[in-house]
Structure 1
Amino acid sequence: MKILLLEDDPILLDIISHHLQESGFELLHVRDGKSALEEASAQRFDLFIFDINVPKMSGLELIKALREDGNTTPTILITAYQDTKHMKSGFESGCDDYIKKPFDLEELDLRILNIKKRFSIENEERISIDEDVTLFPDKNKIAIQGKEHQLTHKECEILLYLGARKKRVISTEELVQNLWEYEEMPSDATIRVYIKNLRNLVGKEKIKTIRGSGYYFE
């Protein structure tokens, strides 16, 4: 589960970030509303956790802007306000849950669990190929420095195969034998097209071609 956390209080940010990461969540945190808007627009998250009182763009303005842009990612708002008026404003802006400061981390856990159940959010498989490249085999997607791209099923299989055997030269024959059925045998030209597409995405420096031998992931 991938979470975008918006919190400008450095102490609270550190406490929540550490707790969520220790709980196994993938986390990106920012300290102002405009940065949160940029990140939320550039990549996909499973959950937003936004403090209301933050610089440059409030949490309320942020969630309203995202909803108007068609972003329906479930959102929990954090606030120090105790009155019903601000709670009403939060829900009217499009939030899905609301948590008041001060709160226990256990309460945050319960609210996240409730969101997961309500929106049927599953912990999808993520495989880190390297520090810049993450593969999502279930969805045939790749994230490069956080930005997602769609792959074909076969491109996903090839990248996963190469990434699991880093720095070992993999021949075209080995790829074919392990990734294709006998009746679907591709030509060498087809393999080259798949490799070219992957190199265009992840970078030519990551997938090397060894003339006459094959390919390897750096």
Structure 2
Amino acid sequence: MSIKVLLVEDDRTLADSLKKYLKLSGIEVDTAYTYEDASQKTLDTRYDVYLVDINLQDGNGIELVEALKLSEDHTPVIFISALTDLGTIAKGFEVGAEDYIKKPFDPDELVIRIKSRVKKNSPKELRYKDLIYKDGRFFKNGKEIELGEVMRNILLILLENKGKVVPKETLYDLMINPSPTALRVLINRLKKKTDIEIKSVRGLGYVVD
């Protein structure tokens, strides 16, 4: 099973070293050195785990994770930090982190923690025509379709309810800034990326037959 991780760390030397080490363990890593960069990457790409430093130069890792959870992004989070303040650590778990590892740490331990998180959160497999949903990713003819978290969740709920109309209000709950126009644009993007027929049911929602 392939694992894709977003590492949010403003220490570029540490981030680059961890990326190289994790790659040797079969873990694909994207790096974000700033709060802003991390926010954008989580919108554009689906990850299996977020590794987040608490102290960032342009923001706070706890605030970043809190914003992600509020936007219905339930990707598992492991905080990495040199901080030992129990109040800060407790706040990290309160906003939705699943694990915490203190700097300096053994890279092998981090690999174990990452794989443990992925195993616990591995979603079921789903097939629809030539589309396969497996290990949290969508594949078409064996090639992964790159979808952000919101698009992935909307496509998944449509396929899980194949033949049933999914109310637009349910889809709104999966979006960051929901509106009829934003949902229509998102559905059109999904159609282009997947070649799946997603039908609009006027006044109600959307359905995949």
Q: Do the aligned partners of 1:46 and 1:121 also contact (CA within 8 Å) in 2? A: no
Q: Is the 1:6–1:31 contact (alpha carbons within 8 Å) kept by the matching residues of 2?
A: yes
Where does residue 91 of structure 2 map in the other structure? Answer: 89
Task: Name the amino acid aligned to 1:84.
Answer: L
Matches within 5 A, 1:1-218: 1-120=3-122, 136-137=139-140, 142-143=145-146
State the secondary structure of the residue aligned to 2:56.
Answer: coil
| One-letter identity of the residue aligned with 1:136 | F
User: Residue 5 of structure 1 contacts residue 50 of structure 1 at CA under 8 Å; is this kept in 2?
Assistant: yes
- 2:164 aligns with none
Distance in 2 between the 1:35 and 1:87 partners? 23
CA contact (8 A) 2:9 2:33 kept: yes
> Do the aligned residues in 2 keep the contact of 1:49 with 1:77 (CA within 8 Å)?
yes
Q: Report the residue type matching 1:104 in the other structure.
A: D
Gap regions ≥5 residues in structure 1 = 123-134, 151-199, 203-218
Listed one character per residue, the Cα deviations across residues 120-178 of structure 1 (whole Å, up to 9, x for unaligned) are 369xxxxxxxxxxxx8248985228xxx787xxxxxxxxxxxxxxxxxxxxxxxxxxxx
- Distance, in Å, in 2 between the alignment partners of 1:142 and 1:109 is 26
In structure 2, the gaps of 5 or more residues are 125-137, 156-191, 195-209
**Higher radius of gyration, 1 or 2:** 1
TM-score of the pair, normalised by structure 1: 0.58
Cα 1:201–1:49 shift into 2, 3 Å: same
Label 1:80 to 1:43 Cα distance change in 2 as closer, same or farther (>3 A): same
CA distance in 2, matches of 1:48, 1:138: 28
Distance 1:116 1:45 in 2: 10
Higher deviation after alignment, 7-16 or 68-77 = 7-16
Change (3 A) 1:56 1:141: same
Q: Residues 98-119 of structure 1: CA distance to partner in whole angstroms, max 9, x if unpaired? A: 0101101011012112212321
Residues 25, 111 of structure 2: 8 Å contact kept: no
Q: Tell me which amino acid in the other structure corresponds to 1:96.
A: E
So what's the TM-score if we normalise by structure 2? Answer: 0.60
Q: Percent identity?
A: 36
Instruction: Give the secondary structure class of the aligned counterpart of 1:73.
Output: coil
Cα RMSD for the two superposed structures = 3.8
Superposition deviation, residue 73 in structure 1: 0.3
- Contact between 2:46 and 2:146, CA under 8 Å: does it hold in 1? no
SS of the equivalent of 2:59 reads coil
